[in-house]
Structures are given as structure tokens and as C-alpha cells.
Amino acid sequence: MAPIRLRHPKGVCTIEVSLEPEFTVQDLQQEIYAVSNILPSRQILKTGYPPRTLTLVPELPLQSIGIQRGDQIIVTEAAAEAPAPPPTSSPPRLGTTAPRPASGPDHVPLDESFLIHRVVPDDNSCLFSAAALVFEQSISKAPQMRKVVADGIRSNPETYTEAILGMPPSQYITTISKPASWGGAIELGILAAHYSTEISSVDVETGRIDHFSPGSGASTGMRAIFIYSGIHYDAASLAPMVEAPDEWHQTLFPIAFTNTSTFDLKCEQCGQGLKGEKGARAHAEQTGHVRFGEY
């Protein structure tokens, strides 16, 4: 381990980091967060004299920003942008201080459905658990998501080079296959391509939305929503009621807008024609059928 001098708003201290390739910029940010309580997404890091601002790519190794044993890092917190107040007739958004129910997950009412914040375990596999919940409807398939990433890197050597990954591809594959390894932008891009689905990552601290496209000509026209706190990924889904069973949750959404109150649907399980989201919800409650297609 290598000592690094850290100056932060609460004082000065020494933190220990590793200069091995497995120790990433994200690991450094976690160490800084533990001391300063500044979220990684809000950290501004400077080093050298005169101090220069470091460009942070969380999934790259610490060596990518040139930090050495005995260096000093200065951390400050980025100013939060005050969001414009929504119209009084609009529903509250995720991350606001909207009234919450006495029980059940965090949610936002949308017409006659609910956008649900699906919390996954905080176990270093949160991105992969969220992806498994969205794309495979089961957190237990998180290891399968790691395999998708490993295969994506292995099959696209021209894209995922050592320069992009920050380490030899074979080493990156070994690292990301371990249950304790975090995922980030590289993994989201590979998952978007594999499932032909745009992934939108919403940073609830800053309001920033990063879009990961599956590539031209490969998109199904659908979008998945991940919720990012700066240190953790969760998923979002749409359900007819707050406490709806998992199989009733919609996890992929059309990128193009559709008026969900008037579009025509057909139950793909029994063939019955339905009108809008309200009709689909009533049919689901009566029959338990959850697969619907638009005419």
C-alpha cells in the first residue's frame, strides 16, 4: 500500500492506496468518500503544483491519473445545481422530497401506474444486479451479466483495447469476472449493445443522465433506466401498483413517446384486445396475464 496525503474540507489526513492495476480510480474515490463524506459524483480532485484538476474515469486503474506514493490530493465538492421547481400540476420526480407511503418501495405515480425504485444489494455487484433485474427479471442472474461483459470485451478487441480499458483486456476480463469488482460506463455500454437496448443512467445527486446506445441499426427502440447515486446503481420499473409482484413490472420502455392512455393493446397470452394502460392493468389484475403487445 502507498500513503497519499489528502486535503479535504474537514482537514488533512493520510489515506492508503494500492498502485497495483486492480486498484481503480473508483476505489480511490471510495477512500476519499469515507474520509470527507463527499460523494464520488461530486468530487473534484487536484494534485501537483500549481494544482491541476484530474480527469476521473472511475473504472480505470489509479495509475491512469498518475498518482504516486507520497503525492498530495486536494478534494473539493462540486456545487449542486438547484433544479427548477416543477409545475404544481406535475407529478414529483425520483430523487425529490415527494410524500412517501408508510410501506413499500420509493415510487412516483405516473397516470394510473407507478415508477418504482428497485433497490438492489450494496455488495459491489449492484450494476450487474440492476442489469439482471432489468434484462433477465432476476437479481440472481448478476453473474451472467458479468459473463456478458467479459464476452463483449473478448469478441471486440478492436474496440476494447488496453488504452480504453486501462489494462490488458485479458486482465480486465479476469478482474470484472470477480464478484467484488465494480462496474461502470464500459460495462453499461457492453450491456446496451448485447441487449440492443439504450441504457439511461440517472445520477440522482446531480440530475445528469448518461445514455449508452446499443449502436446504429442495432436498437430495438427500447430503453432501460438505471438509478445512480454516485456510489451505487439501482433499477427503475413501471408497475400497476406499488406492491405488484415482480412479474408485473415493466423494465423496458419505448424510446419514442406513446400516449399510454389511448393506445391499442392485445394480450399476448389470451389474445384479448385492450385499450390503453388502464385496460392492460385491469386485465392483469383479473387474469394474471402480464405480456401485452401494441397493435
User: In the beta sheet, which residues pair with residue 221?
Assistant: none
Cα angle, residue 20 at apex, residues 192 and 64 outer, rounded to 5°: 60
**What is the structure's pLDDT at 198?**
94
Q: Are 30 and 39 a contacting pair, CB within 8 Å?
A: no
Which residues have CB under 8 Å from 242's CB, separation 6+? 101, 104, 105, 107, 114, 116
**What is the structure's pLDDT at 277?**
66
Mark whether 123 is an active-site residue: yes
User: In the beta sheet, which residues pair with residue 212?
Assistant: 199
Can you give the pTM of this predicted structure?
0.57
pLDDT tens digit at each of 295 positions of the chain:
889 899 888 888 999 998 888 888 888 998 999 889 888 888 899 888 777 888 888 888 888 888 888 888 999 888 755 444 444 333 333 333 333 333 456 888 877 788 999 999 988 899 999 999 999 999 999 999 999 999 999 999 999 999 889 899 999 999 999 998 989 999 999 999 999 999 999 988 788 889 999 876 677 889 999 999 888 999 999 988 888 888 889 999 988 745 555 667 778 788 888 887 677 777 877 887 766 666 6
Mark whether 289 is an active-site residue: yes
Domains along the chain? Answer: 2-77 (3.10.20.90), 107-254 (3.90.70.80), 264-294 (no CATH)
Q: Are 110 and 238 a contacting pair, CB within 8 Å?
A: yes
Active site residue: 27, 71, 117, 289, which one? 289
Active site residue: 8, 106, 107, 126, which one? 126
Cα angle, residue 209 at apex, residues 208 and 212 outer, rounded to 5°: 145
Active site residue: 111, 123, 210, 264, which one? 123
**What is the structure's pLDDT at 127?**
96
**What is the structure's pLDDT at 216?**
66
Active site residue: 27, 71, 117, 232, which one? 232
